[in-house]
């Protein structure tokens, strides 16, 4: 028996679960910070390539986009796994991949609304005369955000401490080591997406990272992450209070 790829019910429940918790409010704060700072930078220094690059990459792609993805994904899966209410989704004759795809669709929509679009707006504010710059960053942000969603979804089903592990990964690997060691670019979602940005916008973010490799790596993370999450959910252990 085949079940649909996306369940409208799970999408609807997912949207409500994100905005039904206090975490949902943070999703509005993060893009507001990005756009606010961009407006400030534009007002103070005018249209400045260097400043725009620092804001959109250093703040947008390195901080805001991963955090939005982490908030959206962990808000969708981790609490339900923690309190066991995911059993109401799992005790149904629907494919586990349908559950994961539906949840990731909601997470991706969050990334679009709270990360990619704000990056676009911030880019247009910072460099109004070169819209391709903003578009490049927005495309990169979307690809990056969706890849992070798949990664964090898998993390949510593998560990009860998905948010902490996700934050440590972002800070240590993507942030600290990514800044210190050049080689990390081959295994860094943020750097891959930077390679995508470079293709559209006229800006230099990472050296020596072929676009084909970056696109392939992002695709692999998204597809494999989603697939593995579904497989892990198939073997989900619901333990009682005992």
Partner 1 sequence: MSEIRIDHVSRWYRNVVAVNDVTMTIGPGVTGLLGPNGAGKSTLIAMMSGFLAPSTGTVTLDGEPLWRNEQVYRKLGLVPEREALFDYLTGRQFVVANAELHGLADPGAAAQRAIALIEMTDAQDREISTYSKGMRQRIKMASALAHDPAVLLLDEPFNGMDPRQRIHLMELLRTMGAEGRTVLFSSHILEEVEQVARQIEVVVAGRHAASGDFGAIRRLMTDRPNRFVLRTGDDRLMASVLLADTSVRGARLRSEGGIELEASDFGRFSEVLPRLAREHGVRLHEVTPTDESLESVFSYLVAP
Binding site for partner 1 (CB under 8 A): 1, 3, 7-10, 12-13, 16-17, 20-21, 83-85, 87-96, 234-242
DSSP letters, 159-183, are: -TTHHHHHHHIIIIIIIIIHHH-GG
Least distance to partner 1, CB of residue 47, Å: 44
Residue with Cβ nearer partner 1 (40 or 238):
238
Residue with Cβ nearer partner 1 (76 or 194):
76
Least distance to partner 1, CB of residue 106, Å: 14
Cα–Cα separations (whole angstroms), residue 237 to 98, 102, 157, 168: 19, 21, 10, 26
Least distance to partner 1, CB of residue 138, Å: 31
d(CA 191, CA 134): 17
Residue with Cβ nearer partner 1 (52 or 106):
106
Residue with Cβ nearer partner 1 (129 or 242):
242
DSSP state at residue 119 = H
First to last CA, the chain: 36
Least distance to partner 1, CB of residue 163, Å: 18
Q: What are phi and psi of 119, to 5 degrees?
A: -65, -40
């Amino acid at each position: 028996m085949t079940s649909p790829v996306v369940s409208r019910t799970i999408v609807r429940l997912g949207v409500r679960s994100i905005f039904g918790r206090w975490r949902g409010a943070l999703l509005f704060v993060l893009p507001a910070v990005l756009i606010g700072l961009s407006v400030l930078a534009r007002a103070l220094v005018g249209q400045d390539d260097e400043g725009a690059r620092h804001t959109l990459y250093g703040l947008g792609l390195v901080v805001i986009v991963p955090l939005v993805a982490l908030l959206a994904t962990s808000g969708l899966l981790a609490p339900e796994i923690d309190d066991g209410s995911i059993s109401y989704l799992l005790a149904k004759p629907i494919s586990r991949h349908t559950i994961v795809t539906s949840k990731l669709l909601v997470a991706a929509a969050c990334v679009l609304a709270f990360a990619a679009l704000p990056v676009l707006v911030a880019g247009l504010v910072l460099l109004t005369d070169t819209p391709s710059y903003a578009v490049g960053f927005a495309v990169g942000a979307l690809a990056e955000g969706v890849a992070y969603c798949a990664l964090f979804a898998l993390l949510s089903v593998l560990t009860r401490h998905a948010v902490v592990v996700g934050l440590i990964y972002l800070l240590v690997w993507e942030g600290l080591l990514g800044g210190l060691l050049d080689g990390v670019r081959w295994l860094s979602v943020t750097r891959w997406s930077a390679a995508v940005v470079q293709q559209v916008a006229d800006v230099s973010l990472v050296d020596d990272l072929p676009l084909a490799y970056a696109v392939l790596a992002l695709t692999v993370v998204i597809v494999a992450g989603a697939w593995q999450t579904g497989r892990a959910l198939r073997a989900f252990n619901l333990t009682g209070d005992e």
